[in-house]
Amino acid sequence: MNARVAVVTGGASGIGLAVAQRLARDGVRVAVTDLNGEAARAAAEKITAEGGTAAGIELDVGDRAAVERGFDEVRRQLGPVAILVNSAGKEGYRRFLNISVEAWEQLLRINLTGTFHCCQVAVPDMIEARWGRIVNISSSSALGGQPFMTHYVASKAGVIGLTKALALELGPEGITVNTIPPGFIDTPMLRRSEERGLLGDSVDHHASQTPVRRPGRPEDIAATAAFLVSDEAGYITGQVIAVSGGRNT
Ligand SMILES: NC(=O)c1ccc[n+]([C@@H]2O[C@H](COP(=O)([O-])OP(=O)(O)OC[C@H]3O[C@@H](n4cnc5c(N)ncnc54)[C@H](O)[C@@H]3O)[C@@H](O)[C@H]2O)c1
């Protein structure tokens, strides 16, 4: 019962799911939160069946009231939040001149404001404990730029800025804040983009152009996140730790 509690947003799929599974294996009590409540609960049940402790909670990160309700539910079921991994996100592909104001605002609301909401709602528990770990999943596209993704790239660049500023403010409280910008990780998001012909080429072709010659695996991100939320990583904060096989480096 003394194990720390982690909230993973977007925990029902891809990177978030791998992070939730990995943290549970490391002995952390995990709240798998996602817009897709059914998938979040199924993921939590699977983690529990494998010997971990998890709760599945439906939560739209872009809706402040839902975030507050969801985190209260986490506290009720598992305890105060010590670790937050913000993985919930939505991709967007459109020529710049065709990005509607609505599409711009939607991506900013989910990817950037969603990260803001979850950090602001989780941080009081961490301040109280004088210990906390936040890992924000940004994107390697925010480091190198990406055509036809201006709204997405801007939202993820915002996540990098948020991470750096928050790290400076929360360092004295015993809380670290870092960001992992993934590059080309084989998840349902990436495969959806491939199927819709939005990658310009196949995943296999892109992998052949990647310095390490393979797509990333969600477990690659999970391993890095697991380190960043550990006690051992307490002197690392405000950092951009790319896990991208050398892409956009
Ligand atoms: N896969 C990649 O190559 C890649 C590269 C760079 C960045 N990323 C980022 O990594 C994160 C995870 O992506 P993934 O590839 O695992 O995608 P994914 O689509 O497999 O998983 C994303 C999860 O987020 C959830 N989600 C979406 N909107 C939400 C909302 N408003 N509230 C709560 N949950 C919501 C979805 O339901 C889904 O379960 C995203 O932020 C994405 O932008 C991924």
DSSP string computed for the chain = --S-EEEEETTTSHHHHHHHHHHHHTT-EEEEEES-HHHHHHHHHHHHHTT-EEEEEE--TT-HHHHHHHHHHHHHHT-S--EEEE---------GGG--HHHHHHHIIIIIIHHHHHHHHHHHHHHHHT-EEEEEE--THHHH--TT-HHHHHHHHHHHHHHHHHHHHHGGGTEEEEEE-B-SB-SHHHHHHHHTT-SSS-HHHHHHHSTTSS-B-HHHHHHHHHHHTSGGGTT--S-B--BSTTTT-
Atom of ligand 1 nearest to the CA of 18: 16
Measured between alpha carbons, how far is 197 from 201 in angstroms, rounded to an integer?
7
Mean pLDDT of the chain: 97
Q: Is 35 in the pocket of ligand 1 (CB under 6 A)?
A: yes
What's phi and psi for 70, nearest 5 deg? -65, -45
pLDDT for res 147: 96
Average pLDDT for 14-22? 98
Task: Work out the percent of the chain whose per-residue pLDDT is above 90.
Answer: 98
pLDDT for res 59: 97
The answer to whether residue 235 is catalytic is no
Q: Is 88 in the pocket of ligand 1 (CB under 6 A)?
A: yes
Residue 130 clears pLDDT 70, i.e. is over it: yes
This prediction's pTM: 0.98
Atom of ligand 1 nearest to the CA of 186: 1
Residue 1 clears pLDDT 70, i.e. is over it: no
**Residue 39 Cα to ligand 1 middle (Å):** 13
Residue 229 clears pLDDT 90, i.e. is over it: yes
Q: Is 245 in the pocket of ligand 1 (CB under 6 A)?
A: no
Q: Is 149 in the pocket of ligand 1 (CB under 6 A)?
A: no
pLDDT for res 138: 98
pLDDT for res 249: 82
Average pLDDT for 24-28? 98
Local confidence band at 160 (pLDDT 50, 70, 90 cut-offs): very high
Q: Active-site residue among 114, 152, 157, 190?
A: 152
- The string of pLDDT tens digits covering residues 173-221 is 999 999 999 999 999 999 999 999 999 999 999 999 999 999 999 999 9
**Residue 172 Cα to ligand 1 middle (Å):** 31
pLDDT for res 248: 82
Residue 2 clears pLDDT 90, i.e. is over it: no
For ligand 1, atom 41, the nearest C-alpha belongs to: 89
Q: Which domains does the chain have, with CATH numbers?
A: 5-184+217-233 (3.40.50.720)
For ligand 1, atom 42, the nearest C-alpha belongs to: 89
For ligand 1, atom 7, the nearest C-alpha belongs to: 139
Q: In which order are the strands placed within the sheet that holds 132-137?
A: 53-58, 29-34, 5-9, 83-86, 132-137, 175-180
Q: Tell me if 215 sits within 8 A of 203, measured CB to CB.
A: yes
